[in-house]
Amino acid sequence: MLLSLYLGFLLFAAMGGVMLWQPQYLTRVTGQELATPESRNEARAVYGGFGVGAALALFIALVWSPLRGGICLALGLALLGMAGGRGYSAWLERPTNNIIWALLGIEAVLGFLLIFQI
């Protein structure tokens, strides 16, 4: 099977699960407190919901190969878009937290792995 499918499934499932359960975890990365119900709702929706949805899509790609190519392309492009946005923001703002660079690298590498179905 494809390494990127298993790796992506595990990473997205972990991110989605953690962010649905404990959205304040995001503050370790951003330094922004989630002090209102609306801010926690947004973190759960964007990071939690998307992560779970992506993990489900990758699971489907693992068990039903006719959809594998489309799922890999869509999620790979989404990850490259995230990495591009993160890189552009880092170029503009010069973040001090090194986790930003680690996330950028993970997003870019996994994005390429999915697109090329490695």
- Give residue 53's pLDDT: 96
Question: Exposure string (b/e) for 11-45, b if CB count within 10 Å is 16 or more?
Answer: bbbebbeebbeebeebeeeeeeebeeeebbeebbe
What is the model's pLDDT at position 81? 97
pLDDT in tens, the chain (118 residues): 588 999 999 999 999 999 999 888 877 777 778 889 998 898 899 889 999 999 999 999 999 989 999 999 999 999 999 999 999 999 999 988 888 899 999 999 999 999 999 8
Centre a 10 Å sphere on the Cβ of residue 91 and count the other Cβ atoms it contains.
8
Per-residue pLDDT at 23? 87
What is residue 70's predicted lDDT score, i.e. its pLDDT?
Answer: 96
Residue linked to tokens 């190969």: 65
